[in-house]
Chains A and B, each alone.
Chain A
Amino acid sequence: MNCTKCKTKAVISLPRHNAAFCKGCFNGFVHDQVARAIKSEWMFGKEERILVAVSGGKDSLALWDILLKLGYRADALYVNLGIGTYSEQSHAKVTKFAEVVAASHGATLHLHTVEQEAGAGIKELAQLIHRPTCSTCGTIKRYQFNRVAIEQQYDVMATGHNLDDEAARLLGNVLHWQEEYLEKQGPSLPASVEGFAKKVKPLYRLSERELAAYAVLNRIDYIVEECPMAKGSKMLQYKEVLNRLETESPGTKQTFYWGFLEKQSKKQPTATTMTEKDRAVLHPCTSCSQPTTAEVCSYCKMMVRAKTVVPR
């Protein structure tokens, strides 16, 4: 199989684009897709400071790599969740990337360690406060990324969510008719209230397979192991189903998610926008000042409970 553009030997075929690429042309394709996402969704400009949420996985490290190569001012934050050897390995991968690649672009890595603040790793913490591990993890990561973005005055926070993540999430929301979540499934969410950073997903035009290929081709050393806490998760099941459909009918995932985005953009503006709704229900947490619908935010409540039950 030869490269569709330059006719040399291809290293990857992309059935959904009816194309195949060599390494050089594939890198060009990936960079172009990210640049298109940034421009079409008004994500950020060259002067703005970006905080990338990195986990040590292929998507977030590829995102950091791509943004730096495209000339953006992108630093990163890694949250060490304290999941035994999995966290040790992912932490090592992120540190190595920061030292070997990001530092040469003048980029910085920030670090937050859950165990230092909560007194226990995520798994033990979830058990102690009787909450599912993945929901505890989500609360902590969202809180810490927003906190660092606001405290360090970043203009925008970028996550490595890809086409597969968004299509799987959309499938889950549609299957359960969780219409209230659909409004927030776009790739660019504004900083709706004081204390919330703008959030963007520059990889939404690229599939999980394309990002893994980008990481392999560019020798990005990422953690291949799956998070042990995610085993059997609904998201993984939705992704599996969508990939079976994609293999039989290339383009299914992009038609599903991009089609949804197109429909959303054509919708008549409702009486109240997302920003107006947020402003109506959110106010500063009395403990930490981050926006919340309650008096004390769920993160602060979690830390209070953790500090009560975890022996220090």
Chain B
Amino acid sequence: MQVQLSHPARTVEVKGPKKVKELLRELNLVVEAHLVIKGDDLVTEDEMLYDVDQIEIRPVISGG
């Protein structure tokens, strides 16, 4: 699946199927600091993601 990341903006390819929480763990990202968006929809940590899915992992931390 194509996974879009920010800070810096980049796209990585990750093999599916796998659950959202497994994807975050594989990319070494903390759940509390990110949202996972499949297509246009927000998904929970137990959602299964497949190779055809377009995924955005959006960081939520801001502020100096």
Q: Which of B34, B42, B60 contacts A217 (CB 8 A)?
A: B42
Structural contact, A208 and B44, CB atoms closer than 8 A: no
* A20 adjacent to chain B (CB < 8 Å): yes
Task: Determine how close the nearest CB of chain B comes to the CB of A25; give it in whole angstroms.
Answer: 13
Structural contact, B44 and A13, CB atoms closer than 8 A: yes
- Taking CB atoms, residues of chain A closer than 8 Å to B13 are none
Among B33-55, those with CB < 8 Å from A are 33-35, 37, 41-47
A residues with a Cβ closer than 8 A to B are: 1, 10-13, 20, 57-59, 134, 137, 164-165, 207-209, 211-213, 216-217, 224-227, 229-230, 233, 235-236, 239-240, 243-244, 246-247
Structural contact, B63 and A165, CB atoms closer than 8 A: yes
B residues with a Cβ closer than 8 A to A are: 6-7, 30-35, 37, 41-47, 58-64
CA gap between A305 and B41 in the complex, in Å: 50
Q: Which of A11, A236, A247 contacts B63 (CB 8 A)?
A: A236
CA gap between A224 and B61 in the complex, in Å: 9
By beta carbon, the residue of chain A nearest B61 is A239
Given A240-B33, A240-B61, the answer on whether A224 and B6 have CB atoms closer than 8 Å is: yes
Task: Determine how close the nearest CB of chain A comes to the CB of B43; give it in whole angstroms.
Answer: 7
Q: Which of A11, A57, A225 contacts B42 (CB 8 A)?
A: A11
By beta carbon, the residue of chain A nearest B62 is A57
Structural contact, A12 and B32, CB atoms closer than 8 A: no
By beta carbon, the residue of chain B nearest A13 is B44
Q: Which of A12, A134, A213, A246 contacts B64 (CB 8 A)?
A: A134
Task: Kindly list 20 other residue pairs between chains A and B, CB separation below 8 angstroms, not including A239-B61, A240-B61.
Answer: A1-B46, A12-B42, A20-B44, A57-B62, A59-B62, A165-B63, A207-B32, A209-B33, A212-B35, A224-B6, A225-B6, A233-B63, A236-B64, A243-B30, A243-B32, A243-B61, A244-B32, A246-B32, A247-B30, A247-B32
Given A10-B44, A11-B43, A13-B44, the answer on whether A216 and B61 have CB atoms closer than 8 Å is: no
- Taking CB atoms, residues of chain A closer than 8 Å to B62 are 57-59, 208, 226-227, 230
- Taking CB atoms, residues of chain A closer than 8 Å to B30 are 240, 243-244, 247
